[in-house]
A and B are shown apart, each in its own frame.
Chain A
Amino acid sequence: DTGVSQNPRHKITKRGQNVTFRCDPISEHNRLYWYRQTLGQGPEFLTYFQNEAQLEKSRLLSDRFSAERPKGSFSTLEIQRTEQGDSAMYLCASSQTGANEKLFFGSGTQLSVL
């Protein structure tokens, strides 16, 4: 068990560019969550998947954000036309149905939009 893996660890981009992050969950976990965290704040829910189905998406999530989980394995989170306010740590977590409250988090992708 190698844990939840996120790539890249750091991403610096210019305003208006598109970025994509990848998350590889723990292999036997069927649920995958995306959270966003800014300095001094707790993680904020973005969306989650059970297998390949996206079950919930935050009402606060801009339509510039899209997430996929093809084949129920890894997931990608894309942000189009980035804004400075998108600068944050993007965290991925996975869990197994039935124990879905015990989320295992990755180390996150730190996004800086200049």
Chain B
Amino acid sequence: DAKTTQPNSMESNEEEPVHLPCNHSTISGTDYIHWYRQLPSQGPEYVIHGLTSNVNNRMASLAIAEDRKSSTLILHRATLRDAAVYYCILRDDNAGNMLTFGGGTRLMVKP
């Protein structure tokens, strides 16, 4: 799997937007960009994924750069419950069903 680079930690204020960056300069044409997050004392949970176009769902938005070498997960209004480790993962659907987790970004949300 191509590697991703994320900041180790970020801080946000409650009810403000949060932009979590991810660099993936060696992404291949068939790699999907997946985001998962892991809340304290829980397993990871799926957040969103995309290939080329920006994506929105009830949890977040995913903005993908035109060259696909970077992406940004956007939480529109951070809440205390969004404090978690956020993982950006590349997955080639044609190359098996494995996810390779990196260190992720630890998001801290201040009240």
Q: Do A and B associate with each other?
A: no
